[in-house]
Amino acid sequence: MNNHHLLQRSLQAVWHPCTQMKHHERYPLVPIARGEGAWLFDTEGKGYLDAVSSWWVNLFGHNQPTIKEAIKAQLDQLEHVMLAGFTHAPVVELSEKLSALTGLGHAFYASDGASATEIALKMSFHYWRNIGQPQKTKFISLQNSYHGETLGALSVTDVAIFKDTYAPLILQSAQMPSPDSRLAEDGESEEAYALRCAEALEHYVAQHHAELAAFIIEPLVQGAAGMAIYHAVYLKRAREICSRYQVHLIADEIAVGFGRTGTMFACEQAGGKVSDIADFICLSKGITGGYLPLSVVLTTDAIYQAFYHDQTVKGFLHSHSYTGNPLACAAALATLKLFEASDVLGDNQHTARQLWAAAAQYDLPFGPVRQRGMITAFEVDTPNPQFARDCYAAALKHGLLLRPIGNTVYWMPPYCLTVADIEHLVQATRAAVVESL
């Protein structure tokens, strides 16, 4: 089948996500045939360096042998069994490992990030109800936050383009000032600004805690806000405030988990384990190395115990058909094995330094480069209102998959970048930016 036919059929048969389909009259789809390392190859063999890890899911590259073999081996044993009333070794092993890594436990599985957000919100609400505080029904999040696009998740998401149209369908929630360090005043440090935002949080929580169930937050980096990075002290203060006023803290590490920000989980940068900061953690995206859909919510023993009861309705009432799918769990176990097999976080530090140095040397009209681990970003100063789309299209011509958010250009590549990959990434990004100013 030639490319042209495949593209035409896709536009007829497939409704693509996050896409105004009419724009494909001008911007053709890219038909991908295979992947290898940090690269994707189209049906005519042209390569694209995957600088966004295929929407932030891929960690160790495409066609990764360890993960591929683990899925194949699992496929010969058991492809799927329902997790109500049944269990299997991959789900048990994965749950134990995630518990050891985070300090939280009682893993509840789903298949995508938005579902993990829904689960954490429902669990928090239901916990308060079970312990006799049914008035705690409200949620708060940060300005410009992103927690997924199903109706509950959209309620705590604060990105106008995703939310405004559906506003009549969703729950009310309040948004707290974002500690995004780009919003600090001149001369104000990242830390001082984060502390100022924490004060505003405390002010709100002190007044509303009686009806608040939980505060949900993307630790350290608000991805969809344009890689908004903030000081870890905010997480520490948020934990203290939530503890003082009996409000749950939900860490949405769907994008930042599994080494992305330089530590295994972003919460760790506030000192200690995830369980020192969060009552719930939501994980997805990188959990299977980008191979299969899987998400999980982990929580504390105390929250779990509030559901442990003779009455069915006191139990957590939630299920998905593919909960705890063995193939996805096998992929996740293989991904964790790759973290154990070598010093991934240490190697990433080296790669990140190279990326930072390269970006800092650009002769482009752009603001300071910012970075947390394997997330690097900078703002481009341009009058072009279509900069993001033009830059995306220009990058494709140069063999690069880059998806700027507004005027923010960011790299969130797989961890397996070679020296040659970095060189290509840096050159092609520069060319694409220059052509779309």
Binding site for ligand PLP (CB under 6 A): 112-114, 117, 146-148, 218, 223, 252, 254-255, 284-285
Q: Which long-range contacts (CB under 8 A, 24 or more apart) does 363-370 make?
A: 364/430, 364/433, 364/434, 365/437, 366/409, 366/433, 370/181, 370/227, 370/229
**Lookup result for tokens 């940060």:** 142
For the CB of residue 253, give the shortest distance to ligand PLP in the complex, in Å.
8
If the CB atoms of residues 214 and 306 are measured against ligand PLP, the closer one turns out to be 214
For the CB of residue 294, give the shortest distance to ligand PLP in the complex, in Å.
10
If the CB atoms of residues 51 and 428 are measured against ligand PLP, the closer one turns out to be 51
If the CB atoms of residues 146 and 433 are measured against ligand PLP, the closer one turns out to be 146
If the CB atoms of residues 114 and 352 are measured against ligand PLP, the closer one turns out to be 114
Q: Which residues face 361 on adjacent strands?
A: none
For the CB of residue 145, give the shortest distance to ligand PLP in the complex, in Å.
8
If the CB atoms of residues 120 and 416 are measured against ligand PLP, the closer one turns out to be 120
For the CB of residue 382, give the shortest distance to ligand PLP in the complex, in Å.
26
For the CB of residue 350, give the shortest distance to ligand PLP in the complex, in Å.
25
| CA-based max dimension of the chain | 67
Chain position whose Cβ is nearest to ligand PLP: 113
If the CB atoms of residues 223 and 373 are measured against ligand PLP, the closer one turns out to be 223
For the CB of residue 308, give the shortest distance to ligand PLP in the complex, in Å.
28
Q: Which long-range contacts (CB under 8 A, 24 or more apart) does 125-134 make?
A: 125/213, 125/214, 126/307, 126/316, 126/317, 127/213, 127/248, 127/303, 127/306, 127/307, 128/213, 130/306, 130/307, 130/309, 130/314, 131/306
- 121 contacts 115 by C-beta, under 8 angstroms: no
Q: Residue 279: which of 314, 232, 233, 246 has the closest Cα?
A: 246
β-bridge pairing 400-401 and 47-50: parallel
